[in-house]
A = this chain, B = another copy of it.
Amino acid sequence: MEERGEKMVSSAQLASRCAINAGTVRKDLSYFGKFGVRGVGYYVKDLLYDIKQILGLSKEWRMAVIGIGNLGSSLLSYKDFLKQDYQIVAAFDIDPPKVIGRVSEKLGRPVEVLHIDRIKEVAKERKIEMGIITTPPSEAQNVANMLVEAEVRGILNFAPAQITVPKGYVVKDVFFTTILDNLAYLLSNI
């Protein structure tokens, strides 16, 4: 909306875009403060700024992908990350030579695939704060342990395996088959 030059937006407009309730939009924002103008709405520019502050998006997040198979490779060149200051600055695999020359496009240079053993060293060096696990499930917990060891506090886990981490660390799972199971259930019960 900012790019389109729209100055104001109402909670109703935001709600319709997200397919939720206008009251929910206002209530959710109100949890963090007062960002709108009564009788008018929200200033697009200010709201964008405020939401970025709330979500912790006022900085660049530096990420590593571990496990450069099909999925891992595709994430290395995933365009949408770059639009929002998510940078993939390292890639790891057990078998580094198998994939080379992938490009993190904003940086304008390839992200070389390194051996897993170097996670800790490289994570410190490149100030990595999030790890994306795209290994086979059997390796997921091992990789998570290495990330914890390297003090990478955020993990996005695509491997269909339960991962446990110490307090202060966060894991978000993305299990494709679980989402399909959900779809299958909904389709079976219409």
Contact = CB atoms under 8 A, between A and B. Distances in A.
A176 B55 contact: no
A189 to B, nearest CB: 7
B154 A56 contact: no
A27 B130 CA distance: 35
A71 B78 contact: yes
A184 B70 contact: no
Interface size range on A against B: 35 or more
A177 interface: yes
Contacts of A188: 55-56
Nearest to A129: B187
Interface in A55-69: 55-57, 61, 69
A116 to B, nearest CB: 20
Interface in A29-74: 54-57, 61, 69-71, 73-74
A84 B178 CA distance: 10
A150 to B, nearest CB: 15
Interface of A: 17-19, 54-57, 61, 69-71, 73-75, 77-78, 80-81, 83-84, 86, 129-130, 153-154, 156, 160, 162, 164, 168, 170, 172, 174, 176-177, 179-190
13 contacts: A19-B162, A55-B181, A56-B188, A61-B180, A70-B77, A75-B176, A81-B177, A84-B177, A86-B180, A130-B180, A130-B183, A130-B187, A153-B187
Please name the 4 residue pairs, one residue from A and one from B, whose CB atoms are nearest each other, closest first.
A56-B188, A70-B74, A74-B74, A56-B184
